[in-house]
Amino acid sequence: MNRTTTLRRKLIYLVILVAMLIPLYLLGQPAGGKGDFGGELSEMRIKYNIAESDLGEISPASETMKLASLGLRGVAATLLWNKAHEYRVKHEWDRLKATLNNIALLQPHFDKVWEHQAHNLAYNVSSEFDDYRQRYEMVREGTEFLTRGVRQNRNAPRLIWYTGWFYGSKMGMSDEKVQFRRLFSDDEVLHEELLTENIAVDSPEARGPLGKPDNWLVGRLWLNRGYEMVDAGVKIRRQTPINFYETGPKWRFQHAEAIEKEGILDERAQNAWEMAAEDWSSFGNRSIPTTSPFTIKLDQLDVLERQKEEKIEQLRELVKEEFDAETKRLYDALPEVLKETYNKPREEMTHNDKEMYVSIKGGLVPNLPALARAADPAVRLRAIEIVGELDDLEERLIKTRGYRTQINYPYWKSLAQAEQEERTVRARRLIYEAEKANEDAELDKAIALYEESFAVWAEIFDDYPLLTVDDTAQDLFESLKRYSIAIDSEEMPEDFPLRTFVELMGEYGQIDSHMYTEIQAQAEEAMLARKKELAEEERLLEEAAKAEEEKARMEKAESEKAAKAKEKEAADKAAKEKVEKEKADAEPKADDSDKPEAESPNSENDSGEEASDAEGSDE
């Protein structure tokens, strides 16, 4: 191999390198602005919104670290993750924070970096401290770390959801929740930072009953921000839509429960439950994406069932004779026991009878596709279309029932309706006061308050049986135990208001699974009945108010009429008195004119003088 060959080979390599740089330059040319979109890669970044400026806040330090890693960013990040774990084990907190910051600079658009390390700070690191104030500071570090992640990932609704979940769950459910909630409400520095993130902690939506920001409500504002982002078109990633959307309304429930446990048991608690009910109702009417190519609304199960019955009736009208004949054949084939259950009046049915009735009714529906295919040619096409619509409705019904069961939707709906009633707030207040009196060893007062509250709770459980399987039931059962100790007796009298509840809870305060199923099935019917009762009560109150208003109006009219009559009478009397006075004043003058005039003693002299004057004048 001579020098010429070597030189030729080097020149070929150089030409190849230059040739390769040309397409790389054309592909990777950055955008120049003012209509210059740069190379192909730059245009693709702009088209799919994955440019650094589109993803979130640009960090010069992050870009510098990426370049400094010389293409080994993954290796560097792995080493830093290991270092972070090592520093946590060694309790070297300052080095841990520095390492986490470096990881975030290397992988700013990897959601798991922010989620994992924020969880690490708020849960794992905070538990290493004994003082709850230091624990709160680490929880705060975790939330601030997540906030940085939100800034650098503009289109990451999962990160926003996780931030809202942190504010609610960690600060409101941990062992130190009482202290954490108090520290958060007084943390003005954090409040200022949240304001810069457009979280309106100074608005009524974020403030609790004491006028300070509440962690549950602030968390809800974060979640609402994520909902707005998704509604604007950003997709939900790494999370089911039902779980994503249910959290915000549930934070309202958690807020209402928290303030009640803190002793706020008045109209403020009632108002909190009313707002929770409104949020849950809005959630029930929100379109939720599913794994199927359609959305559902959790609160429209009755609508779907009614539409299904209407479609079946429409099909029956098209093939009436065949439909009725097949239905009769299916009914005749039923055993006598099932026929008796099917024909039993609904008010006499037990829970098992109602379940059996639904099953029997479904079994009496003929084979609809077969009927549609065998229909008269004039209506066959329409019949087949109805069967297709029924299949779609059935799929929607299955999804709706499944999603409702997944999040226990009827339970939360019943809870919101029950808790916003004045009597429920009063029952909780009575229990709270009874427990306080019991702690202060005022047994007579405690027993009286316990018994008064138990009577109210018995009424509530009758109208809302689902509450017997709520956390409320567990707390009430503990109160019942303390009541037994206060009266020094474990035996409950026959007329005890909560006797059924005590038997239901059993010796250890646990609900029997079969009983739970029955209660859950009855709850919705009881809730609907209670809604009707409340509507009727409201109607009667409105009628009473109208009647009272009408009565007040009539009384006012009568009063005004009487006042006018009195004024007229007084005016007439005054006029009469005036006339009589004028008449009385005029009568003495008339009497004087009728008397003869008395002669003046100088009358003769006067007449004589007049006569002399007359004579003088004649002369």
- Give 257-326 as a 3 state SS string: HHHHHCCCCCHHHHHHHHHHHHHHHHHHCCCEECCCCCEECHHHHHHHHHHHHHHHHHHHHHCHHHHHHH
At 595, the pLDDT band (50, 70, 90 cuts) reads very low
For residues 445 and 497, the answer to whether their CB atoms sit within 8 Å is no
Strand ranges inside 354-415, DSSP E: none
Pair (160, 174) in one structural domain: yes
Look at residue 355 and give its three-state secondary structure: helix
Pair (286, 244) in one structural domain: yes
At 43, the pLDDT band (50, 70, 90 cuts) reads low
Pair (168, 272) in one structural domain: yes
Structural domain tally of the chain? 4
Please identify, among 251, 280, 296, the residue that sits at the C-terminal boundary of a domain. 296
Phi–psi pair at 296, nearest 5 degrees: -130, 165
Please identify, among 384, 413, 442, the residue that sits at the C-terminal boundary of a domain. 413
For residues 176 and 132, the answer to whether their CB atoms sit within 8 Å is yes
Express each pLDDT in 265-298 by its tens digit: 889 999 999 999 999 999 999 999 998 999 999 9
What whole-number distance in Å separates Cα of residue 26 and Cα of residue 468?
70
Pair (408, 494) in one structural domain: no
Q: Which of 184, 190, 209 is nearest to 260 (CA)?
A: 209
10-14, 427-431, 537-541, 615-619: the lowest-pLDDT one: 615-619
Look at residue 509 and give its three-state secondary structure: coil
Express each pLDDT in 79-121 by its tens digit: 988 988 888 888 888 888 888 888 888 888 888 888 888 988 8
Dihedral sign from CA coordinates of 133, 138, 139, 143: positive
Average pLDDT for 474-489: 87
Q: What pLDDT shows up at residue 304?
A: 94
What whole-number distance in Å separates Cα of residue 84 and Cα of residue 113?
12
What whole-number distance in Å separates Cα of residue 465 and Cα of residue 136?
39
Q: Is residue 611 part of a domain?
A: no
Q: Which of 342, 340, 341 is nearest to 327 (CA)?
A: 342
User: In terms of DSSP H, where are the helices of 71-131?
Assistant: 73-89, 93-106, 111-119
At 530, the pLDDT band (50, 70, 90 cuts) reads low
At 462, the pLDDT band (50, 70, 90 cuts) reads confident
Q: Which residues pair with 288 in a beta bridge?
A: 296
Pair (208, 150) in one structural domain: yes
Pair (206, 156) in one structural domain: yes
13-17, 339-343, 358-362, 528-532: the lowest-pLDDT one: 528-532
Three-state SS for 199-223 is: CCCCCCCCECCCCCECHHHHHHHHH
For residues 226 and 157, the answer to whether their CB atoms sit within 8 Å is yes
Q: Which of 32, 31, 107, 112 is nearest to 62 (CA)?
A: 107
Q: Which helix (H) or strand (E) holds 241?
A: helix 241-261
Average pLDDT for 55-72: 70
Q: Is residue 80 part of a domain?
A: yes
Higher pLDDT, 331 or 48: 331
Pair (381, 502) in one structural domain: no
Pair (189, 284) in one structural domain: yes
Domain extent at residue 108: 73-296
Q: Assess whether pLDDT exceeds 90 at residue 45.
A: no
What whole-number distance in Å separates Cα of residue 23 and Cα of residue 27?
6
Pair (445, 463) in one structural domain: yes
Higher pLDDT, 514 or 580: 580
Average pLDDT for 150-160: 89
Q: Assess whether pLDDT exceeds 80 at residue 533.
A: no
* Percent of the chain scoring above 70 in pLDDT: 84
Residue 46: C-alpha distances to residues 49, 52, 140, 464 (Å): 5, 10, 36, 56
Q: What pLDDT shows up at residue 609?
A: 42
Q: Is residue 528 part of a domain?
A: no
Pair (362, 472) in one structural domain: no
Express each pLDDT in 70-82 by its tens digit: 778 888 888 988 9
Q: According to the per-residue pLDDT averaged within each range, which of 14-23, 33-42, 220-229, 519-528 is highest?
A: 220-229
b/e per residue 538-554 (b: at least 16 CB within 10 A): eeeeeeeeeeeeeeeee
Q: What pLDDT shows up at residue 590?
A: 46
Q: Assess whether pLDDT exceeds 70 at residue 309.
A: yes
Q: Assess whether pLDDT exceeds 90 at residue 501.
A: no
Q: Is residue 555 part of a domain?
A: no
Q: Assess whether pLDDT exceeds 70 at residue 3.
A: yes
Q: Assess whether pLDDT exceeds 60 at residue 41.
A: yes
Q: Is residue 409 part of a domain?
A: yes
253-257, 361-365, 472-476, 505-509: the lowest-pLDDT one: 505-509
Average pLDDT for 255-261: 92
What whole-number distance in Å separates Cα of residue 398 and Cα of residue 294?
13
Pair (372, 449) in one structural domain: no
* pTM for the full predicted model: 0.72
Residue 423: C-alpha distances to residues 23, 191, 234, 271, 280 (Å): 77, 36, 44, 13, 21
Q: What pLDDT shows up at residue 5?
A: 83
Q: Is residue 475 part of a domain?
A: yes
Distance of CA 223 to the CA centre of its chain: 12
Q: What pLDDT shows up at residue 618?
A: 40
Pair (468, 400) in one structural domain: no
Q: What pLDDT shows up at residue 600?
A: 43
For residues 111 and 156, the answer to whether their CB atoms sit within 8 Å is yes
Please identify, among 504, 519, 534, the residue that sits at the C-terminal boundary of a domain. 519
Q: Is residue 542 part of a domain?
A: no
For residues 197 and 226, the answer to whether their CB atoms sit within 8 Å is no
Position of tokens 């982002």? 229
Q: Assess whether pLDDT exceeds 70 at residue 502.
A: yes
Express each pLDDT in 386-421 by its tens digit: 999 999 999 999 999 999 999 989 889 888 888 888
At 606, the pLDDT band (50, 70, 90 cuts) reads very low
Mean pLDDT over the full length of the chain: 83
Q: Is residue 84 part of a domain?
A: yes
What whole-number distance in Å separates Cα of residue 263 and Cα of residue 430?
11
Q: Which of 519, 440, 439, 438 is nearest to 473 (CA)?
A: 519
